[in-house]
Amino acid sequence: MDGISPGNRLIEALDAADRDALLSQCVSIEFAPGHIFHEPGDPIDHVFFIEHGVVSAVAVLQDGRTVETVMVGCEGVVGGLAASTPRHAFTRNVAQMAGGARRIDVARLRALTAARPAVRDVIAAYLAALQAELEQSAACNALHRAEQRLAKWLLRCHDRVGGAAFNLTQEYMASMLGSQRTTVNEAAQSLQKSGAISYSRGRITVLDRATLERAACECYRAADTFRLAHHRED
């Protein structure tokens, strides 16, 4: 966990009384890569405050192709839309990297948000930021080059994982970006040539974060859901 303290940022933002009330209703869980929290159409019975690890919300098309819509780590919550009203999942919520979360039953969460407005507000603020990120993503997917988008995506993984290296197969990156494998391969080779990353046998190492940031499109900064910067120790 170098550089990032474990713990969910939304829970940490609450005062002690609200935080204790929420945590008393939660169960700690661990998840492995590939773990599916919700499939499209599933009723959202539980909400997950992610403490470490990375979860992707993935749109699944009828032909089986997938593309990531948002990435969630310790700054956020999976299934948060169900905090106010009953919901079904639109996307597949799947763990990209192993981690842990605080899980709460939605009925309990709704009772809690009714009694404690600060809990409701912290989730609402996160969801509003996520909506802004989604709107930016629509432009990004249509207009920005694969290399820029890959750089943005790797920065987001790097922010959430905390370590310099992580395992990502080309197939996986291609399915997250909605691109062909060959396109992702070319983009990764180009980032490697610039010295930003090394990429070998599915293992990505961020060598030069500043170079990777320059390679990313503006959307990395525009998506302001991510507020880990001041939690970094470096």
Q: Which is nearer to Zn ion, 30 or 135 (CB)?
A: 135
In the complex, what is the shortest distance from the CB of residue 113 to Zn ion, in angstroms, rounded to a whole number?
33
Only segment of 164-172, 189-197, 199-207, 209-217 that touches Zn ion (CB under 5 A) = 209-217
Only segment of 36-44, 46-54, 87-95, 142-150 that touches Zn ion (CB under 5 A) = 142-150
In the complex, what is the shortest distance from the CB of residue 137 to Zn ion, in angstroms, rounded to a whole number?
8
3 and 232 in contact (C-beta within 8 Å)?
A: yes
Look at strands 203-206 and 165-167 and give their pairing.
antiparallel
Applying CB under 5 A, does 144 fall inside the site for Zn ion?
yes
Phi, psi of 69 (to 5 degrees): -100, -45
Applying CB under 5 A, does 74 fall inside the site for Zn ion?
no
In the complex, what is the shortest distance from the CB of residue 105 to Zn ion, in angstroms, rounded to a whole number?
37
Could you tell me how many helices (H) and strands (E) the chain has, helices first?
Answer: 9, 9
In the complex, what is the shortest distance from the CB of residue 48 to Zn ion, in angstroms, rounded to a whole number?
27
Count of residues touching Zn ion (by CB under 5 A): 4
Out of 78, 130, 140, 173, which residue is the one contacting Zn ion (CB under 5 A)? Answer: 140
CA distance 170 to 180: 9
Applying CB under 5 A, does 219 fall inside the site for Zn ion?
yes
Torsion-angle region of 218 (φ positive above 0: left; ψ -120 to 50: alpha; else: beta): alpha
Dihedral sign for Cα 215, 219, 221, 224, please: negative
Out of 50, 177, 217, 223, which residue is the one contacting Zn ion (CB under 5 A)? Answer: 217
Q: Which is nearer to Zn ion, 50 or 217 (CB)?
A: 217
Farthest-apart Cα atoms in the chain, separation: 54
Q: Go through 190-219 and write b for each residue having 16 or more CB atoms within 10 A of its CB, e for each that does not.
A: bbbebebbebeeeebebbebebbeebbbeb
Q: Which is nearer to Zn ion, 116 or 144 (CB)?
A: 144
Footprint on this chain of Zn ion (rule: CB under 5 A): 140, 144, 217, 219
